[in-house]
Amino acid sequence: MSVRSNIDRLRETVPEKVKIVAVSKFHSVEEIKEAYDDGQLHFGESRVQELEEKQPLLPADIEWHFVGSLQRNKVRFIAPFVSLVHSLDSARLMREIDKRAAANNRVIPCLLQLHVADEETKSGFMPDECRKFLADGKWKECRNVQIAGIMGMTTFTEDTEQVRKEFRLLKSLFDEFKSEYFADDDSFKEISMGMSGDYPIAIEEGATIIRVGTLIFGERGY
């Protein structure tokens, strides 16, 4: 199957209002170009060095999403061009993104990554930790970061009811934060959840952005 036909098939099953981020980590610039030529503009990468290498080789109007865990000392490499950081998970990281965004005269939109999975390995704020972070209010001082919503990953399991429950928890956290802190802020609107294995459930539960790799590009050769 070609990248193009994979994307075409995916688009048939995804409502137009849901944004598809094509997660291209470990895939070549040629494969990304094939998706781009089919009209795909949003791509996701999870490693700074890989993104840094690919970005200059590809069209400038691509919107790059950073979906992996982001180390503070690497923020400066992607700050000039990144469109949306999905993995904001600490006040210290936020201050660094703010500083690097300011140095580039821009505002960087970020999503609060929430840990809802039943797995130690997944990163993100625990829900209570995120509540504290928002209640504390210091984030408002970071004027070059725009908190644009939330992101989350579910447990890697065949149990679709558990996955659905975790998506529901993410949606309810979004609603809570929206009403408590962002009711007047139209830019707080994104719920990034759902990957190749579970995106249909994520859409049913309110995803506005899905992050799909394998279904578009095939298996990754790690």
**Binding stretches for ligand PLP (CB under 6 A):** 23, 25, 46, 67-68, 153, 195-197, 211-214
Q: How far is CA 23 from the centre of its chain?
A: 10
Nearer to ligand PLP, 115 or 211 (CB): 211
Nearer to ligand PLP, 100 or 211 (CB): 211
Nearer to ligand PLP, 6 or 55 (CB): 6
We find the least distance from the C-beta atom of residue 214 to ligand PLP, in angstroms, to be: 3
Would you tell me how many other CB atoms lie within 10 Å of the CB of residue 21? 26
We find the least distance from the C-beta atom of residue 43 to ligand PLP, in angstroms, to be: 11
Q: How far is CA 51 from the centre of its chain?
A: 14
- Number of helices (H), then strands (E), in the chain: 9, 8
We find the least distance from the C-beta atom of residue 136 to ligand PLP, in angstroms, to be: 26
We find the least distance from the C-beta atom of residue 25 to ligand PLP, in angstroms, to be: 6
SS3 state at 109: strand
Please state, in angstroms and rounded to a whole number, the distance separating the CA atoms of residues 65 and 57. Answer: 16
* Cα–Cα nearest to 177, from 212, 139, 217: 139
Please state, in angstroms and rounded to a whole number, the distance separating the CA atoms of residues 145 and 85. Answer: 10
Nearer to ligand PLP, 144 or 196 (CB): 196
Nearest residue to ligand PLP by CB is 213
